[in-house]
Structure 1
Amino acid sequence: MFGSLFQRQLLSGNFIPRFYAYYYKQWTDYTMPFHHHDSTEIMYMISGTCRIEVKDGNEEKGIKLRKGEFIILDAKVPHRLIVDKAASCRMLNVEFGFAERESSSPSLRHIADEEAAVYSLIGQTSPFVVLADREEVYPVLKSLVLELDQRGTEGTLMTHLMFIQLLVCVARLYKERESSDVPSSEFYIKRCVDFLHHNYDRNIQVKDVAAEVNLHPGYLHRVFKKGTGRTITDYLTMIRMEKAKLLLEQTDIPIHEISDYVGVSSRQYFHLLFKKYTGSTPVEYRHSKDRNSWKQDEISNHS
């Protein structure tokens, strides 16, 4: 039996996963004593924030986990969970090791032969790895736990296959992070842009966007500006003004209501933003589009 994921010895035989524990847990205002497991543990943050302290030799390291992030702790690594006062978090934990046996499902060796990222992850030397999910890991992890609930920890072909999928997803995230921080920056920018498009009609601020993607507002500002050439505020204004243009052109919504549709609470401020963005007031813009439509109709009728 092997509890550690981070060892190349797993690639010398036919090792398959064995599961020891898995559970959801809500933590509130809690400090756990230092402890360790004989197995590898994944701690996935579903909501909230917490701090994980890890002993690495004589050194203690603190890791803040936010929603959508997870830590893989290798076997026998001392660690503890800390949830600050008045705070809470919800986690999904899975503890697993490996056993060498013949099986109809592929072994770790077979997976690593096919997927270079798995080989890299197994061979890394840190006692823990922290990664940010791209909405790929959690669905697989959740499905694996549900299957274990229904079939038991001894493992079935389905649980083995789900673990393979989980391991490949995690390994690819790890390899991408190690090779360059550009792809992860692009990922965060895409998530920000998606969030802005889905929420432009609400009163949102930069801190709301940062919380959504689990990054510090200052760091997110730098990443977003470098990647798009605009600040988050400027990008949100662009989305709102383009939507306002569309509504003025294509609908009969009263002009005094347009500001509400695009998330600008003050009508006066909306007029100032729109004039700065287009060079026209909302009234002038709608009238100009109405005239253009009339001219096009006139041309069509005379042709």
Structure 2
Amino acid sequence: MGNGSIFDADLLEANYSPRVSAYYYKQWDGYQMPFHQHDSTEIMYVIQGECQVEWSWGDDGTGLRQAVKLNKGEFILLDANVPHRLYVDNKCRMLNVEFGFAVHEGGFPSIKQVCEEEETLRAMVSAPAAYLKLRDPDEVYHTLKSLVLELDGRGGDGGLLDRMLLTQLLIRISRIRRDAENNGWQQTDHYVKQSVNFLHQNYDRNILVKDIAAFVNLHPGYLQRIFKSQTGQTLMEYLTAIRMEKAKMLLLHTDIPVADISEYVGTGSRQYFHALFKKHTELTPIEYRNSMNAQGV
């Protein structure tokens, strides 16, 4: 078989394992790449900025062409031996991983065995395509980073965990592909999920709407509208609710002085924290701690 393609039917008939052949981070600044191709499947993931990937049916890039634009958090899975090139008008930071397949040596299920258990991966392998462009729901990049760290730690020579992580990556991509095909990708869902994750991880800091919007790369007004539409709350209302739940937990399960709780939950002044907490619980922080302790909670 041509050992570079994720869409090769032989993967479902014989036992092969995935192998990374190359991987790198790269900051592109105003760059135009010539058409090229390689006998490996490539994942090009946009960490920051934007770019355009153009592919062609012709071996030298002279055939029918198609271009796709990639923004932050999007990635393309490009099949082996597809002529392609990269365009970057301004700046784009990417993580690229190239991989193929070798005869299975045991120690971990082959792609064929995994496909027998994971229908989404079997469906993807069975549907040849020049490329797949997908948006990451905060799953693919984490796995890619884990894979790269493991490869770096082993000097890039691969190993059991590398194969496990690469197989996990393919399963995640196949599930994203299924969701995109079955339901259509809801762009707003992604931005709202990213915003919620950001709030949960940064509630202790002084956060403004513009900070959240910058994180998800959206206009603040547009983010406010889609967030309110999906959650029923504004970004700041949602953030306050997170802070109050954290404050209740700290009051109930720690000995942190009440006067210091506001610093732990990012509300600023103690007076403002007390006012917010009473509005949400109808109790002052001291009353809440005492009442919960009296109940033996």
TM-score, scaled relative to structure 1: 0.68
> 2:23·2:148 contact (CA, 8 Å) conserved in 1?
no
Matching residue of 2:5 = 4
Provide structure 1 residue ranges, at least 5 long, that are not aligned to the other structure.
none
> 1:177·1:184 contact (CA, 8 Å) conserved in 2?
no
Distance 1:261 1:161 in 2: 38
Structure 1 pair 236/36, CA: closer, same or farther in 2 (3 Å)? same
Matching residue of 1:113 = 116
Secondary structure of 1:38 counterpart: coil
Matching residue of 1:55 = 55
Matching residue of 2:26 = 25
Distance 2:180 2:35 in 1: 29
Query: Residue 133 of structure 1: CA displacement?
Result: 4.8
Summarize the alignment of residues 34-183 of structure 1 with structure 2, pairs less than 5 Å apart.
34-45=35-46, 47-55=47-55, 58-66=64-72, 68-85=73-90, 87-89=91-93, 91-99=94-102, 101=103, 103-104=105-106, 105-129=108-132, 130-135=134-139, 136-146=142-152, 149-151=155-157, 156-180=159-183
Distance 1:230 1:220 in 2: 12
Distance 2:15 2:289 in 1: 72
Secondary structure of 1:176 counterpart: helix
Aligned alpha-carbon RMSD (Å): 4.5
Give the structure with higher Rg (CA): 1
Structure 1 pair 82/205, CA: closer, same or farther in 2 (3 Å)? farther
Partner amino acid, structure 2, of 1:50: E
Structure 1 pair 253/290, CA: closer, same or farther in 2 (3 Å)? closer
Structure 1 pair 214/290, CA: closer, same or farther in 2 (3 Å)? closer
Distance 1:11 1:196 in 2: 43
For each residue in 1:219-260, what CA deviation from the matched residue of structure 2 results, as whole angstroms up to 9, or x when unmatched? 644543333111223323444677789999x96649xx9699
Matching residue of 1:13 = 14
Partner amino acid, structure 2, of 1:28: D
Summarize the alignment of residues 153-302 of structure 1 with structure 2, pairs less than 5 Å apart.
156-180=159-183, 189-213=192-216, 220-239=223-242, 253=259, 262-263=266-267, 278=279
Identity of aligned residues (%): 40
Distance 2:154 2:43 in 1: 15
Structure 1 pair 157/204, CA: closer, same or farther in 2 (3 Å)? closer
Q: Report how many aligned residue pairs link the two structures.
A: 278
Provide structure 2 residue ranges, at least 5 long, that are not aligned to the other structure.
58-63
TM-score, scaled relative to structure 2: 0.69
For each residue in 1:249-286, what CA deviation from the matched residue of structure 2 results, as whole angstroms up to 9, or x when unmatched? x96649xx969974569x9xx69xx68x949xxxx986
Partner amino acid, structure 2, of 1:49: G
> 2:51·2:92 contact (CA, 8 Å) conserved in 1?
no
Distance 2:286 2:111 in 1: 66
